[in-house]
Amino acid sequence: MKKLTIVFLSILMLSGTYAQFFNKSKNLPNYDNRIIHWGFTFGINKLDFIVVKTQSFYQAPELDNLYGITHKWLPGGHLGPIFELRLNKNFTFRTLITLNFQQRALIYYFNQGSAPLQINIPSTFLQMPLLIKYHGVRAGNMRPYVIAGVAPTFDISALKRPQTNVPRVYLSAVDTYGETGLGIDWFLQYFKLSTEIKFGRGLMNVLEPDNSVYTKYLQSLYSYYFMFSLHFEG
């Protein structure tokens, strides 16, 4: 993920230099005169856990032959509409109603030397970030910005509780994320394109313990994600 961030920032800096020094014509010159803007967003993301184990985990090898618990992120995607309200020259309020299709996994190591057990945990988040966006001075047809806010989140997948013998870990359906990020607005001929990276950290413990060997050694599970998004706004 660090490599992806470095590449992304390098592209932004090179592209920004081009926009500032080589592009003489100004696209959408009256864009900021409008108070309200609508748009659409989609992108890719990485979702993972912050795992906190109980003190009793260190007795797990003797009690349940459990020698380790790790976690693994799996790729996902997101899409949805954008609403943006201009507050003043440099600040706007932005909200999005997105569907986030994400997945992560917990991996359990029983009986040293045996194959690990991986439990995949899919999530379909209905999310509504409430963000304040601060943008700098427009240079040609580009403008950098930073964002911060909170994102109330409802996990639709967490409502499904199939009665099967397949090992499962259940999560709470409700969470709230603190979000921060940065991006670049690109003013094209007919619309504005924004490229953005964003980090979100869950503020709530989403673990729902059930006294199974898969949860009794977990004290808490917090979520975090990285997102790369493309915003199209008119």
For the chain, what are the domain ranges? 2-233
Q: Is 17 helix (H, G, I), strand (E, B) or coil?
A: helix
Give the pLDDT of residue 117.
94
Give the DSSP H or E segment for 2. helix 2-22
Residue 144: what pLDDT? 97
Instruction: Specify the residue for token string 């790790």.
Output: 70
Q: Give the pLDDT confidence score for residue 105 in this predicted structure.
A: 94
Low-confidence ranges of the chain (pLDDT < 70): 1-24, 163
Q: What is the third-level CATH fold of 2-233?
A: Porin (2.40.160)
Report d(CA 86, CA 169) in Å as an integer.
Answer: 43
Residue 43: the pLDDT is 97
